Amino acid sequence: MFTKSILILFLVLISSFPGFGVQYWPTLVWKKNSPQSLDFDPKSINNMFQFMKKKKFPIHSVVIVKNGYLIGEFYDNNDNEKSLSNIYSVTKSFTSALIGIAIDKGHIKNEKETLGSVFSKNFVIKNDPKLKDIKIQHLLTMTSGLKTRDNHLSNYSGVFALRNSKNWVNYILSLGTEKKPGEYYNYSNGGSHVLAAILTEITESPVAKYAESHLFSHIGIKNYKWAKDPQGINHGYSNLELSARDMAKLGILYLNKGRWGNKQIISSSWVEKSLKTHAYPNRGRFNPFRLYPYNGYGYQWWNSETAWKADLSYRKAWGMGKNAIKQPEYFLALGYEGQYIFILPHLKMVVVFKSRFRKAKDILIPKALVEEFLLN
């Protein structure tokens, strides 16, 4: 009995040291720790930061978290740990999380629900039978077939037209479809905004308020801004403003399969489905990773796929690409100009970048940095 008590006491004591893999939950207070105490080489982080400075990349913020502890942080002269800025399409991953929560709570039956059932009174859908069959899942995976033309291939002309319309949701739906839902990947900002409209319609609550009640309050996100359309619907595709640290909290939540502390915020099954490949962008019209075509798309999340083999050609363009190894699986949320949340499960690590890369191909630089310095 005495021996058993000693063993229990020993396990409790060693578990209090972060080096033994204990997860810290930065709900209200962030704690810093040294990389080496968490079994990670600090040179990897230091070398990455030095390389960023040498190349003068327009990266404003970097947050590196392992087991919930801050082990690396970088800010330029314009940013700090409290700075809010537009996370652009990383907003989509937050919208996806809220859809999952709404399903978990029974507000939405499941992702197989159709626009016809959600917007039964919408006159646009009534007049176009093809719209009725679009499922929430199609919107999540960018396979809705909607003719939005609002990605970089059209110079975002559809986004500008959307913003000039009086009713965003009706405008998106009035464009109709160009493909049968589910058969073709085509990146659609409008489709993600329809997800926000679905949340608003079914929960009878603004998306931001729903997020505060069911997501933000649990993981400690207090300061944010979230733009609305003319009907008061928070943008489902972009224009959520957060600090880099608060962006990292969504990554920590997904890294831990939807659990935060002792509470399951999002079901583990939703997290698993969200990060799983449902569509292949290189088989559709839009592929921001055309130089690196093996990325799969989940529920408003990207993934690297387990069998992915590193192609070093694009990294060499920026003076990297020294190590050619098979990359482990990881996941990411990606936004315009290089906003990122990376989830690195094998390292129990989350990495956030806030950037202002003006050229489309350069938004891959944070991805290259993670592969070159943190994964290798």
CA distance 188 to 2: 63
Q: Look at residues 183, 198, 226 and tell me which one is the last residue of a structural domain.
A: 226
Structure pTM? Answer: 0.90
**Residue at 159 is within a domain:** yes
77/94 same-domain check? no
CA 327-354-197 angle, 5° bins:
95
Phi, psi of 68 (to 5 degrees): 90, -5
The distance in angstroms from the start CA to the end CA of the chain is 47
368/262 same-domain check? yes
31/96 same-domain check? no
**Residue at 157 is within a domain:** yes
Instruction: Note down pLDDT in tens along the chain; length 376 residues.
Output: 545 555 444 444 434 444 345 699 999 999 999 999 999 999 999 999 999 999 999 999 999 999 999 999 999 988 999 999 999 999 999 999 999 999 999 999 999 999 999 887 776 787 787 899 999 999 999 999 998 877 666 667 778 888 899 999 999 999 999 889 998 888 899 999 999 999 999 999 999 999 999 999 999 999 999 999 999 999 999 999 999 999 999 999 999 999 999 999 999 999 999 999 998 776 555 544 444 444 789 999 998 863 344 455 666 777 887 665 566 789 999 999 999 999 999 999 999 999 999 988 788 899 889 988 998 7
Q: Look at residues 198, 226, 254 and tell me which one is the last residue of a structural domain.
A: 226
**Residue at 269 is within a domain:** yes
206/249 same-domain check? no
255/360 same-domain check? yes
Task: Write out pLDDT tens, residues 365-376.
Answer: 998 899 889 987
175/218 same-domain check? yes
252/364 same-domain check? yes
- In sequence order, the 6+-apart residues with CB closer than 8 A to the CB of 31 are 24, 68, 69, 70
DSSP string, 104-150: HTTSS--TT-BHHHHTTT-HHHHT-HHHHT-BHHHHHTT-S-B----
CA distance 340 to 331: 10
147/185 same-domain check? yes
369/261 same-domain check? yes
65/136 same-domain check? no
**Residue at 232 is within a domain:** no
**Residue at 77 is within a domain:** yes
CATH number at residue 116: 3.40.710.10
**Residue at 348 is within a domain:** yes
Q: Look at residues 166, 200, 226 and tell me which one is the last residue of a structural domain.
A: 226
**Residue at 149 is within a domain:** yes
**Residue at 17 is within a domain:** no
- The parent domain of residue 54 ranges over 24-81+243-375
76/94 same-domain check? no
260/212 same-domain check? no
Q: Based on the structure, what is the number of domains in the chain? A: 2
- In sequence order, the 6+-apart residues with CB closer than 8 A to the CB of 82 are 223, 243
CA distance 165 to 329: 41
Task: Write out pLDDT tens, residues 287-323.
Answer: 444 444 447 899 999 988 633 444 556 667 778 876 6
